[in-house]
Amino acid sequence: MNYRLPTDVSPIHYDLTLLTDLTLHKFRGTVEVDLKVVTDTSKIVLNVAELHLSDASVTVVGEEKAFVPVSQSIDSIDQRATFVYPCIFTAGSSLKLFIAFEGNLNESLIGYYEGTWEDGGQKKFYTVTQFEPTAARRAFPCWDEPSCKTTFEMSMISASDTVNLFNTPVISEEQYEDADDVHGLLRQASIGDWKITRFERSPLMSTYLVAFANGQFEYLESSFKSPISGKTRPIRVYANPSSIHQAKYTLEVTAKVLPVYEQVFDIEYPLPKLDTLVIEDMDAYAMENWGLITGRASHYLLDPNASNIQQKQAIVNIQFHEVAHMWFGNITTMEWWTYLYLNEGVWSGTVTNEFSLDRIVSGFATLMGELIIPGSGCLSTICVHIFMFSFPRVFPEWNLDAAFIALHINDAMLLDNKLSSHPVEVDCPDANKINQAGLGTPTPDRLIDGYERFSTHYPTQKQLPFCANLYGNSVTHNLWKGIEEATGFDSSNFMDAYISKPGFPVIKVTESEGIIHIVQARFLQKGTIDDTNTIWNIPLNLLTVDSDGKSSIHKVVLKERSSSYAVNTEQLFKLNAGTFGYYRVMYTPERFRRIAIEAAKANSVLNTGDRLGLVQDAFALASAQLMSLSDALELLTIFKNVRDHYVWSSISTALSNLINIWWEHAEVIDLLNEFRRFLFKPILSEIGYTYSADEDPDTSLLRNCAVINASQAKDEEVVNELRQRFKQYQAARDNSLIPEELQGPIYTSVVEFGGEEEYLAIKRIVDDPKTPTEKLAAIGAMCSVADRQLITSTIHYMTTEARDQDVPHFALELMKNPKIKREFVAHFKENYDVLYEKFKDGFSISGLVQRVFSPLTSKKDWEDTKAFFEDGRDTSRYALTVPQVLVTIQENMAYIESSTDDLLSWLRNWKKTQ
């Protein structure tokens, strides 16, 4: 089947007029499309979904006669409209296609949809778009493919007391009355005063980047001066009136990064303005619409009086990422969704974030937006060493190299270590499956980062294929060809296995006197396989230390299945120095221990990335039964006196994973919690509960980590402190007692160790939070309840009262609660049809399935899950997720079977020594 539109005609320009009726929850409009006829045809085929079409006439430019179709049809499955006309339009001629359309505003979170906000207890409505990947067709008839780049002009008709937004600036705004209503858009509209807002013509862009919105928005404004042209451009952040004061930080970071990107890309920001619209209802975290970024409130708002480093980093990471897309992805766009990673990367596919394109650990946008621009000291990718040899750090106090390893790379590897994973670049012909195309793949950003760390081949910014293909489309070949032409380095061959093959390698390291022997194999959660068809080019970044204590990094590449290298094994050595390569390293247990002891020293030549890599590799190897779990746990005792937040974040993740897998083994859980108290309580005793605006960011983040882990491990002193703070807060309403950073552990401790009164108090916060982050903290608390009746109340709330965008977060938190896991799985199965219909067209359905079933651990769970999805259900929207879930359950089972005795033995022996 041909999933692409016919190419008989090519769109050149859209002229849109759209009326939004918030009272009747409808929209209607007209579109006039300038077309170029490529081959003789009497038929025009374009995309449309869930719209009612009326007029569909065509005029040949230069002629007066308008042709109406002799037949027209709409295929709701392929989402196409076909118009057959009574004449042949000849190649080379120009047409104007006119179509009138209308649709319903609903809460689907895709297409042109409706959201709500509260104003003094009164529900108010707004509208916004989410078109990526293929939902522009739900808002207006169009050629909804990324290669069909055109210009757009927009006129928006709306209630007079609302604000209209589009990708480009406003040209004019005036009253709109019946006399102006040439196409009858007001005939069935609600009674009231109307206005029309006209916007400037856009540059060439794909339909998925078109955006518009309508509502009673307010804004904060700043500007930036272009370092290239000297022009000053306005920057605005819009939000609903009740939350606009919390958007100040987003405005500041946007103004900070725009001139920096201009310097990096050596290309002036191409639009006259940049707006960001922060909204309450959004399936994704954010969307890079050109000139009109949209973002979810939970990831864009911050109490202006708070010093919440974690939320500040979240805002910076996501906004820098989206602003990077104004160049990567928007100026130059992938030709088809097969090449999504060229501007977005690929989905991390884990359950640590929501499930949408904002969960993508993006190739170039993530590199630019989350690692390089905010504060990387090394400018560590093709995209930057490429550009300049030094770069002013925007946030020098944030160790973002380490954050990138801790927050992104390990998550990607957890999916890419399965037999069900697929390559970075995967053919995706069917538009209905685009939303899952990235699940289970590695991250190009990390691959490129690893490449740059050892490569000495740096093209200049103007040698990049990105810069040579402005306002066009690109494919993988263009990227590597451009780099090769600029540097002479065969990057295509070097990167081929990482891009075109599934999985990633593990290198096994053995030693003899003065020699290390290295063998590569594909790493899998179930062990390794010798994939004879795949040999990775692995940048070893071998760190050695001589007898004088001087360290050196040797940029050698393993290009064969195995090799040997001369190394003084009496001294420290470490492969994958800094943990910049996309692979695991398997040492002997003794060598792991020796490296860890050195890494734990205050003046070690090993850095935070090295410590992270040791922890992540050890527990990954243990879960694959390539290393004993007891040896992995022993490493944590070595790091006990390290005070590095990102190391402790990885330790926290490792221990939480064990608790989630052994959740039905009471003795294991009790001992693991005792071990967590042993590790994290001393940290909290040292740094206390008090945050200050001028303290080191790492200390602030470390405190968050310590409080969360000590309270989750049920440390009596910590839990009592948190509960007492909430009690005093209720009495005095003193917000200083509950800093934003501690809302999660405080609210959870209050509910978990309280009763109905505390539960209802937290529920009231969910209903009326001061900030979006407070709401998420309170949702997590509601899901931690132990009482059976209150558990039922939480599930009922999720089903009947929660916003659609919050349902996945409820699912994640409920599946962390051992008292409710299987009950919630049963609820999900019973309500599957309703949930599927609600979420099938967006990004969330695959994530919901993953969150609900992946934590299961028994053979019966596997059998029941398999039977559930084989029972005639349409899984095409998440076909890649089902095998991943089933494999994950099997892996959990295998881990428990192989490691329980070892785990218990080590924990019991550890306890005896305390």
In this prediction, residue 479 carries a pLDDT of 67
Q: What is the pLDDT of residue 752?
A: 95
Task: Indicate the average pLDDT of the chain.
Answer: 87
Q: What pLDDT, on the 0 to 100 scale, is given for residue 379?
A: 31
| Whether pLDDT at 600 is above 80 | yes
Closest CA to 328 of 298, 378, 358, 365: 365
What pLDDT was estimated at residue 667?
98
**C-alpha dihedral, 870 to 873 to 878 to 883, nearest 10°:** 0
CA distance 874 to 836: 10
Cβ(49)–Cβ(79) below 8 Å? yes
Q: DSSP readout, 67-122?
A: E--SEEEEETTTTEEEEEEEEEEPTT-EEEEEEEEEEE--S-SSEEEEEEEEETTE
How far is residue 519's CA from residue 542's CA, in Å, rounded to a whole number? 15
Residues 6+ apart with CB under 8 A from 755: 787
CA 14/CA 35 separation, integer angstroms:
9
Residue where the block lists tokens 């707006």 = 275
Q: Which residues of 748-774 are buried (b: 16+ CB within 10 A; e: fewer)?
A: bbbbbbbeeebbebbbebbeebebbbb
What local confidence, expressed as pLDDT, does residue 422 receive?
Answer: 67
Q: What is the pLDDT of residues 322-350, one digit of tens each?
A: 998 898 788 877 777 665 555 554 323 22
Position 466 confidence tier, pLDDT thresholds 50, 70, 90 = low
Question: What pLDDT, on a 0 to 100 scale, did the predictor assign at position 286?
Answer: 94
Integer Cα distance of 80 and 450 in angstroms: 43
In sequence order, the 6+-apart residues with CB closer than 8 A to the CB of 724 are: none
Averaged pLDDT for residues 140-165? 97
Picking from 134-148, 328-342, 630-644, 692-706, which range would have the lowest pLDDT averaged per residue?
Answer: 328-342
Q: What is the tens place of the pLDDT at every residue in 412-445?
A: 788 788 776 766 666 666 666 665 544 444 444 4
In this structure, the number of other CB atoms found within 10 A of the CB of residue 56 comes to 20
| Cis check: omega of the bond before 270, within 30 degrees of 0 | no
Q: What is the pLDDT of residue 480?
A: 66
pLDDT at position 342 = 53
pLDDT digits (tens, 9 = 90+) for 749-775: 999 999 999 999 999 999 999 999 999
Of 261 and 332, the one with more pLDDT:
261
* Structure-model confidence comparison of residues 498 and 170, the more confident one: 170
Residue 494 has pLDDT above 80, yes or no: no
Q: Which whole number is the average pLDDT over 353-378?
A: 38
Q: Compute the average pLDDT of residues 501-513.
A: 90
Q: What is the pLDDT of residues 199-230, one digit of tens each?
A: 999 999 999 999 999 999 999 999 999 999 99
pLDDT at residue 426, rounded to an integer: 62
Render pLDDT for 844-894 as a digit per residue (tens, 0 to 9): 888 899 999 999 999 999 999 999 999 989 898 888 889 989 999 999 999
Helix 788-800 × helix 807-814 angle, to 10°: 160
**C-alpha 344: how far from its chain's center?**
10
Q: Which has the higher per-residue pLDDT, 451 or 695?
A: 695
Q: What is the rounded average pLDDT of the residues 614-622? A: 96
- Cα-only R_g, the chain: 28
What was the pLDDT predicted at 351? Answer: 26
Q: DSSP E strands: which ranges in 326-387? A: 333-334, 346-347, 360-361
pLDDT tier, 315 (very low <50, low <70, confident <90, very high otherwise): very high
pTM of the entire predicted model: 0.90
Residues 6+ apart with CB under 8 A from 439: 347, 349, 415, 846, 880, 881, 884
Closest CA to 520 of 504, 506, 500, 501: 506
For residue 500, the model assigns a pLDDT of 74
Name the residue type at position 290.
W
- Rounded Cα distance between 244 and 15, Å, is 32
Cα 791 → chain centroid: 29
Q: Which residues contact 354 (CB under 8 A, 6 or more apart)?
A: 283, 284, 285, 805, 808, 809, 844, 847
| Res 879: pLDDT | 84
Q: How confident is the model at residue 486 (pLDDT cuts 50, 70, 90)?
A: low
How far apart CA 332 and CA 472 sit, in angstroms, is 5
| pLDDT at position 468 | 56
> Sorting pLDDT into bands at 50, 70 and 90, what band is 1?
low
Would you state the torsion angle of the CA atoms of residues 319, 320, 325, 326, taken in this order, to the nearest 10 degrees?
90
Structural contact between residues 57 and 100, judged by C-beta atoms closer than 8 angstroms: no
Reported in sequence order, the residue ranges of 160-225 that DSSP labels E, i.e. its strands, are: 163-166, 170-175, 194-199, 212-215, 218-225
Per-residue DSSP letter, 768? S
